[in-house]
Structure 1
Amino acid sequence: MTTPALPRPDLWCPIEPALHPDHEEVSEHAVAWLRRYGYVTTRAEEETARAARFGELAARVHPHGTLPGVQYACEWLMWLFLQDDDKVEGASGRGDTRTVADHLLRCLQVLHDPQQPPAGAHMHALADLRRRLDDFAAPDHVQRLLSGLMEYFAATGPEAIYWSLRTVPTLSDYQQLRESTVFMRAGCFVLNEIATNCPLPTAVWATPEIQFVSRTAARIVGYTNDILSGPRELAWPGALNLINCIAQEQQCPLPQALEAAVALHKEETAAFLRQADQVIRRHDDVRTRTYIDGLRTWIRGNLDWSLATDRYTTRAPTLPNSQAAN
């Protein structure tokens, strides 16, 4: 069955855009890091990497960070994207859940002991990121990010199963899963604290209101990715995407489901703006303001990058031979 062409919708976001002043240096650092770990070995691969604009993403979501901090956060973002493409979404899309399981277990091994990583570019890059984390963050923030990674790896298990079975979960199940696979609340938002060198004290970060506004921001980022990557992802049977889940839940065509997804995105954005203002009124200090500003720049920066990157260009899926035969 042919997936109907979906228009790229306008997503409401009244947050002002921002860009790190050293964005070009961040972008060149990103390409150099990809070369170092063997992700880029040819001119064609470099062109693909530059079209993905990983450095621009880091410069947009961390516009106020220190240059070393933003470069380090950018390395994490690239690693997360590339290992997901290869070992999670890629492998499970082929029905190869064993590869997903082996990869996740090796990742856990490296997080616990980065000194002797298993073979492979993904593991060596992860080991280097883990070793240098102690240079960028205090012990409580190290543990905060490691806990976020554990949550992300745990969520990729059911994600891989859904992908491999070509099964679309219920909308509520998908929303719960997406909060972890998007790796924001205890992941990328923690990296923003590291990049700005302005960590939020654990006693404040753990409060219900900070967690509530962080989860709202995470949902917005996830919805943005799903809506703007929909034309690419929905080419796959059983695609794990907000649009697909809405279409199944409401028994409606994909264009109508896309409209519902856009409405959800707008609803969450309005809720975030209210929640962020409430947090600032109650905790008007530099660290809290910096944290909330980091949520804002992630929401806006991810949107602007998603509209510019080549990652969400529609490509025909390469199906396993058994499925191609059918």
Structure 2
Amino acid sequence: MPQDIDIRIPLPGRQSPDHARAEAEQLAWPRSLGLIKSDMAAERHLRGSYADLASRFYPHAAGPDLDLGVDLMSWFFLFDDLFDGPRGEDPEEARQLTEAVAAALDGPLPEAAPPIAHGFADVWRRTCEGMTPAWCARSARHWRNYLDGYIDEAASRFWNRPCDSAAQYLGMRRHTIGVQPTVDLAERAGRFEVPHRVFDSTLLSAMLQVAVDVNLMLNDIASLEKEEARGEQNNLVLILHREHGWSRSRSIAHLQDEVHARLEQFLLLESCLPRLGEIYQLDPGEREALERYRTDAIRPVIRGSYDWHRSSGRYDAEFAHAAGSRGYLEELGSTAR
């Protein structure tokens, strides 16, 4: 996030007290699975500050629970980088890889599955530990939506048909931003579950959509220069220029206003949660789980995203140059084969 872009987030910043230990140990998991093989890749990964992100998304977690969050963030970005090259422009290649990963949701993977799929299988196995079958089924649906979104994005690039409106783009990007699986893991990290009968309520769905939209808007502002450099046309700033003829500065200002409007909506929505508990006749334990979902899941994914985008090196010029190097692309591609 450019330092001259300051977006007021009316939510407190939080971070796990165990973040320093988790940051010191964050490379062990991706290295053990062959997802990071060289010092160059390790250095690049550390510049992304994914352990810092996890400690902000899951401020209530420590020890193995925080480690799971760190490994999920590492996996997310390693997987996403696989689509920066030709695979991201070929819907069939995208389908093959996403299906190899999604197979872990249905059972053990074959030995020959790519390392990136085995990495997801390990995260998914640990994610389901101690959670009910209903919760695991709900989270699996969210993962399938996330993975399917990569095929849609690849098809858009393959046919050279970038989104021509913000509404069209949001419909696609809300899946691949990965916020829903990220929020799901907050329940697992905190060892609680939102009552299933209220999860799909209009109120909770609206709160989650605010979290999703704020994340993707922040991400598109932060990643604009990186995406422009590699010819990506599906970025909200660029789409607003095509749709309305706005300048870059006006498009970014519009997104800032959109973020503020959504955050005002969020504060109003969360004030209605006690009434939701009354309507669904939640018992004290269920009300506590709903409150924890507000404080330990949705709020941190909004504020944590903002704080991380302002401090991470993932979108600076040095990072982008390393990402485009032939050696790195070859090493990264090997995790998908």
Partner Cα distance (2:137, 2:292) in 1: 21
Aligned to 1:61: 57
Partner Cα distance (2:99, 2:267) in 1: 38
**Aligned pair in 2 of structure 1 residues 189, 116: CA closer, same or farther (>3 Å)?**
same
Equivalent of residue 109 in structure 1, options 103, 106, 114: 103
Q: Which has the higher contact order (CA 8 A, sep 6+)?
A: 2
Aligned to 1:14: 10
Q: Is the 8 A contact 1:167 1:238 kept in 2?
A: no
The percent of aligned pairs where both chains have the same amino acid is 22
Q: 1:284-299 maps to which residues of 2 (within 5 A)?
A: 285-293=287-295, 294-299=297-302
Equivalent of residue 303 in structure 1, options 303, 306, 310: 306
Partner Cα distance (1:217, 1:269) in 2: 9
Q: Is the 8 A contact 1:33 1:75 kept in 2?
A: yes
Partner Cα distance (1:130, 1:296) in 2: 23
Partner Cα distance (1:123, 1:43) in 2: 22
Aligned length: 312
Equivalent of residue 182 in structure 1, options 168, 172, 177: 177
Tell me how large the CA RMSD over aligned residues is. 2.3
Q: Write out the 4+ residue segments of structure 1 that deviate beyond 6 Å after TM superposition.
A: none
- Match of 2:129, SS? helix
Partner Cα distance (1:165, 1:16) in 2: 43
Q: Which stretch shows the higher mean deviation, 311-320 or 285-294? A: 311-320
Q: Is the 8 A contact 2:217 2:255 kept in 1?
A: yes
TM-score with structure 1 setting the length: 0.88
Q: Which amino acid aligns with 1:52?
A: G
Q: Is the 8 A contact 2:207 2:266 kept in 1?
A: yes
Aligned to 1:201: 195
**Aligned pair in 2 of structure 1 residues 239, 114: CA closer, same or farther (>3 Å)?**
farther
Equivalent of residue 168 in structure 2, options 169, 173, 181: 173
Partner Cα distance (2:148, 2:182) in 1: 17
Q: Is the 8 A contact 1:247 1:253 kept in 2?
A: yes
- Match of 2:40, SS? helix
Aligned to 1:91: 86
**Aligned pair in 2 of structure 1 residues 308, 136: CA closer, same or farther (>3 Å)?**
farther
Equivalent of residue 315 in structure 2, options 293, 312, 318: 312
Q: Which amino acid aligns with 1:104?
A: T
Q: 1:147-296 maps to which residues of 2 (within 5 A)?
A: 147-169=141-163, 170-185=165-180, 187-280=181-274, 282-283=276-277, 285-293=287-295, 294-296=297-299
Partner Cα distance (1:313, 1:165) in 2: 29
Partner Cα distance (2:61, 2:204) in 1: 21
Q: Which amino acid aligns with 1:257?
A: S
TM-score with structure 2 setting the length: 0.85
Q: Is the 8 A contact 2:51 2:73 kept in 1?
A: no
**Aligned pair in 2 of structure 1 residues 312, 136: CA closer, same or farther (>3 Å)?**
farther
